[in-house]
Amino acid sequence: MNADDIARTLASHARWLSDPETGDCADFRGADLQGADLRGADLRGANLRDADLRGADLRGVDLWGADLCGADITGANLRRADLMGAYLEGVALPTE
């Protein structure tokens, strides 16, 4: 997934968070997001199931209630990320 696709998905997700009739919930299921810069993104309720987030910059990302089941976030920067209520079954977590 390229940076433009990510930006469009995040913009639609932001609209969805404000008014579900005006946007779509972010669906990054199985997406290749290796090394993606998602700093500060509001991904509450997003679908990141089985996504490849290795090395992604997730600093300050709000993942409350997001589905990360089976995602690979090894090497990702999770500093100040909010994982409260996120679904994390089978997630490959950073080792550092």
d(CA 90, CA 61): 20
Residue 8 has what pLDDT? 97
Task: Please indicate, yes or no, if residue 46 is contained in any of the structural domains.
Answer: yes
Residue 93 has what pLDDT? 74
Task: Please indicate, yes or no, if residue 3 is contained in any of the structural domains.
Answer: no
> Read out DSSP for 6-54?
HHHHHHHHHHHHH-TTTS---B-TT-B-TT-B-TT-B-TT-B-TT-B-T
Q: What is the pTM of this model?
A: 0.91
Task: Please indicate, yes or no, if residue 4 is contained in any of the structural domains.
Answer: no
Instruction: Per-residue pLDDT tens, the chain, 96 aa: give them.
Output: 899 999 999 999 999 999 999 999 999 999 999 999 999 999 999 999 999 999 999 999 999 999 999 999 999 999 999 999 999 999 987 665
* CATH code where residue 57 lies: 2.160.20.80
Residue 23 has what pLDDT? 96
Domain residues for the domain of 78 are: 27-96
d(CA 94, CA 6): 22
How many domains, in total, are found in the chain?
A: 1
